[in-house]
Amino acid sequence: MKLSIYLGEDEILAVLGSVGKKIKILDCCRISLKKGTLINDVITDEASVCQALQEIRDRFYSRCKNVALILAGSQILTKVLEVPPMSPAQLRELARREMQEYILESEEPSYLYHYSAPAEPQNNKGPRTIICIAVKRQMIEQYIERFTQCKMPLKSIEAAFDGVSRLVHFQQGLHSKTFILAIADGRNLMTSLFINGVYAYTNRLRLVEERGRQACTEEIENAIRSVARFGKIRREEYRFENIYLCGLTKEECKVLIPNIQKEEQITVSVPEAGVDFQIAEGLSYSLSDFIFNTGSLLKPARLPDLISASMGNRKKARIHLLYMTALAALPAFMVFWTFASYMGHSQELRRIQSQIEDMEAAMNQGDYKQVKQAEELETILKALQEARETNENIERQLAEYPQMKSEIRNRIISEGRDAVTAFDLNYREGTVTFRGKASNYQEISAYVSRLESSGLFQSVEYYGFTDKNPLDGLKDGAYYFNISCILPKGEETQP
């Protein structure tokens, strides 16, 4: 069972239902809002929205705590792609790359990227259609906080057209048709083209005139006919069949249906709940009014949504930060291990030497009771020899590492060229490690390339960047990174 909530411009719609062989609608309601309370998914009157959500909570929440929020505003960016078989991780990365084309580079980090696959290919083989989604992370977080404050925490946040696509695929009469679906929500009009049952294109329009006026009805008609003309361009390849109207009043439909049918020679109608639905008696339910809510019921709980995508990105960022830290610490750990081994062997050597001196003194004094057998002395002498050999090997290894030149330090700093700042330089046995800061992440790659081409290092290890200050974990507009430069062995260098 699922409680699906859609925040419309002039009203909030809620549907309680479940899906099996049929879509079961158990309860529904619509709560009117003051004009301007919600504009493009942005809440301008929090008190009114909270009051409406409280009414929904009182009516539904005792029966279902699986709450889903549906968003359909222009702040949710979508793009349709046909892709070959790919893993979920590959699809998420593809969605990110595709949607970044529509977002300013400076705003890319503030968005979260997601994808949806309304219909799986048969036998999981062959190409399939996905909807790439991008939405501002701040908006998702604000909705999560708002619903939590209203004591109705969200389990998922979904894009409206994801659910509509699933609804089209679910209904036998639609999943292979080529048609137009026009959905009005206040002064927002979304006119979408479906080709062979697959979502292909949406035209979003903010109506200039107030709903109910003749000029507004003419606006709606012109918008629908423009998409119809777009569909006719492909008429030779696809059979263009129907236009469905949703969210319009009976008066608007009485004008629009005959006008569009006459001009475009296409069947125009209002979609109705058919044999695929089981609706509780006495409900004032209409598929055309609750189409977004109904589509949301079809999304399985196991599939990711915008909340899980947001949490997944945070987890990924934390793992990436830990990974970068571990890689940056690896050279220092190797140096520490070598140095610790050297000190450990040196300490063991001194202990054995002290033990032998005590034994020799005891023997010289004739106190042979302290030495049980001659074999024990031989064993100790053998261990002493092995410790000396190990110590000498470690000393030879340490001697192979060059020393840090002032030239190298100056080169690391100067190659920043006022675009990159290097700091916290440390040197241990042939490895220079340091942290860096840049205002533009593209400058970091250029800086690494300059260090590699300097000829001073055997290798330059770069571990990626983060936009959070490592000291406080906050974003300050800069990009931070760690680098290890390994010097070539066997050189004669001066500190």
* Residues 33 and 151 placed together within one structural domain of the fold: yes
* Residues 367 and 438 placed together within one structural domain of the fold: no
Query: How far apart, in whole angstroms, are the C-alpha atoms of residue 432 and residue 485?
Result: 5
Burial of residue 88 (CB within 10 Å: 0-12, 13-18, 19+) is: exposed
What is the CATH number for 480? 3.30.1360.100
Query: How far apart, in whole angstroms, are the C-alpha atoms of residue 71 and residue 161?
Result: 9
Query: How far apart, in whole angstroms, are the C-alpha atoms of residue 445 and residue 137?
Result: 27
Complete edge-to-edge strand list for the sheet that includes strand 277-279 = 156-159, 67-71, 2-7, 11-19, 23-32, 277-279
pLDDT at 236 over 70: no
* Residues 366 and 485 placed together within one structural domain of the fold: no
* Residues 396 and 481 placed together within one structural domain of the fold: no
Answering whether pTM is above 0.75, one says no
* Residues 145 and 76 placed together within one structural domain of the fold: yes
* Residues 141 and 113 placed together within one structural domain of the fold: yes
pLDDT at 117: 79
Q: What are phi and psi of 139, to 5 degrees?
A: -65, -40
Residue-wise pLDDT tens digits, 11-27: 999 999 999 989 999 99
Q: Which of 304, 327, 359 is a domain's end point?
A: 304
For 389-414, give one letter per residue: b (16+ CB within 10 A) or e: ebbeebeeeeeebbebbeebeebbee
What is the CATH number for 50? 3.30.420.380
The number of residues in the chain equals: 495
pLDDT at 326 over 90: no
Token pair, residue 44, equals 């301008």
Average pLDDT over residues 293-317: 68
Task: Count the domains in the chain.
Answer: 3
pLDDT at 321 over 80: no
* Residues 448 and 374 placed together within one structural domain of the fold: no
For 261-288, give one letter per residue: b (16+ CB within 10 A) or e: eeebebebebbebeeebebeeeeebbbb
**Contact criterion met (CB below 8 Å) for 156 and 69:** yes
pLDDT at 426 over 60: yes
Task: Please check whether residue 246 lies inside any domain of the structure.
Answer: no
Highest mean pLDDT among 69-78, 127-136, 244-253 belongs to 244-253
Quick one: CA dihedral 3, 61, 115, 106, positive or negative?
positive
- Helix/strand/coil for 189: strand
Q: How far is CA 186 from CA 59, 129, 145, 216, in A?
A: 25, 30, 25, 11
**Contact criterion met (CB below 8 Å) for 484 and 424:** no
Which comes out higher in pLDDT, residue 421 or 45?
421
Residue 471: pLDDT band by 50, 70, 90 thresholds?
confident
Query: How far apart, in whole angstroms, are the C-alpha atoms of residue 140 and residue 75?
Result: 11
pLDDT at 491: 47
pLDDT at 368 over 60: no
* Residues 136 and 57 placed together within one structural domain of the fold: yes
Average pLDDT over residues 158-162: 85
pLDDT at 2 over 90: yes
Q: Which of 304, 329, 363 is a domain's end point?
A: 304
Residue 245: pLDDT band by 50, 70, 90 thresholds?
very high
Task: Please check whether residue 344 lies inside any domain of the structure.
Answer: yes
**Contact criterion met (CB below 8 Å) for 409 and 482:** no
Query: How far apart, in whole angstroms, are the C-alpha atoms of residue 318 and residue 473?
Result: 11
Q: Which of 366, 400, 434 is a domain's end point?
A: 400
Task: Please check whether residue 429 lies inside any domain of the structure.
Answer: yes
Least confident range of 19-33, 176-190, 262-276, 343-357: 343-357
Least confident range of 146-150, 154-158, 236-240: 236-240
Question: What amino acid occupies position 63?
Answer: R
* Residues 377 and 460 placed together within one structural domain of the fold: no
- Average predicted confidence (pLDDT) for the chain: 78
* Residues 5 and 141 placed together within one structural domain of the fold: yes
Domain residue limits at 360: 319-400
Token pair, residue 395, equals 């000393």
- CA-nearest of 130, 72, 64 to 96 is 130
pLDDT at 54 over 80: yes
pLDDT at 166: 87
**Contact criterion met (CB below 8 Å) for 391 and 345:** yes
**Contact criterion met (CB below 8 Å) for 23 and 290:** no
Average pLDDT over residues 223-236: 75
Least confident range of 57-66, 118-127, 128-137: 118-127
pLDDT at 381: 64
Average pLDDT over residues 237-254: 87
Task: Please check whether residue 171 lies inside any domain of the structure.
Answer: no
Query: How far apart, in whole angstroms, are the C-alpha atoms of residue 23 and residue 288?
Result: 15
pLDDT at 427: 75
Task: Please check whether residue 73 lies inside any domain of the structure.
Answer: yes
3-state SS record for 233-283: CCCCCCCEEEEEEECCCHHHHHHHHHHHHHHHCCEEECCCCCCCEEECCCC
**Contact criterion met (CB below 8 Å) for 96 and 113:** yes
Residue 402: pLDDT band by 50, 70, 90 thresholds?
very low
Token pair, residue 394, equals 């470690």
The number of CA neighbours under 13 Å toward the Cβ of 245 is 24
Task: Please check whether residue 186 lies inside any domain of the structure.
Answer: no
Contacts of 381 (CB under 8 A, 6+ apart): 356
- Helix/strand/coil for 62: coil
Least confident range of 76-80, 324-328, 448-452: 324-328
- CA-nearest of 116, 34, 24 to 70 is 116
Task: Please check whether residue 252 lies inside any domain of the structure.
Answer: no
Average pLDDT over residues 211-226: 91
pLDDT at 420 over 60: yes
* Residues 370 and 465 placed together within one structural domain of the fold: no
pLDDT at 401: 45
Q: How far is CA 132 from CA 29, 42, 92, in A?
A: 31, 22, 8
Share of the chain above pLDDT 70, in %: 74
* Residues 384 and 395 placed together within one structural domain of the fold: yes
Query: How far apart, in whole angstroms, are the C-alpha atoms of residue 418 and residue 446?
Result: 13
pLDDT at 493 over 80: no
pLDDT at 84 over 50: yes
Number of helices followed by number of strands (H, E) in the chain: 11, 20
Query: How far apart, in whole angstroms, are the C-alpha atoms of residue 120 and residue 302?
Result: 15
Which comes out higher in pLDDT, residue 124 or 56?
56
Quick one: CA dihedral 196, 160, 246, 184, positive or negative?
negative
How wide is the angle at C-alpha 211 spanned by C-alphas 214 and 254, nearest 5°? 55
Beta pairing partners, 462: 483
Average pLDDT over residues 299-321: 58
Average pLDDT over residues 325-335: 51
Token pair, residue 111, equals 């968005």
Token pair, residue 71, equals 């968003």
- Helix/strand/coil for 483: strand
The number of CA neighbours under 13 Å toward the Cβ of 282 is 1
Task: Please check whether residue 240 lies inside any domain of the structure.
Answer: no
Residue 423: pLDDT band by 50, 70, 90 thresholds?
confident
